[in-house]
Amino acid sequence: CLNILIYFLILFFRIVFADFFIMNLILWVKGSSAAIPFGTLVAILAMWFGISVPLTFVGAYFGFKEKPIEHPVRTNQIPRQIPEQSFFTKPLPGIIMGGILPFGCIFIQLFFILNSI
């Protein structure tokens, strides 16, 4: 379990800090005032190793020390039948409805706003 914890810390840190550093490097090369100074990057790195890493280990220690969750009832050995699902609970109609409704709402609002100009 310690391997998983260390793997998570290293992987998460690499992804977040590399992304942040690359974006800041691009801003620095372009001469933007939005680029973060090097000292601030070092301070963020120090806070990461000084706060986040120890708290992750403390949380893992207390998490692994807890008893596993016991379910209050036994599960039945005979599986029950699952009823037939409606058409809108299947993935494709859900994806279509989840995309068309927000798009339609924004499209209609923008249509009326741009027509009034």
**Model confidence pTM above 0.85:** no
What is the count of structural domains for the chain? 2
60 and 97 belong to one structural domain: no
Residue 80 within any structural domain of the chain = no
- Burial string for 83-115 (b: 16+ CB within 10 Å, else e) reads eeeeeeeeeeeeeeeeeeeeeeeeeeeeeeeee
Residue 71 within any structural domain of the chain = no
- pLDDT of the residue at 72: 84
- Can you give the pLDDT of all 117 residues of the chain as single tens digits? 677 777 777 787 788 888 888 999 999 999 888 888 889 988 988 988 899 888 888 988 898 898 888 888 888 888 888 888 887 788 888 888 888 888 999 999 999 999 998
- Domain range for 105: 89-117
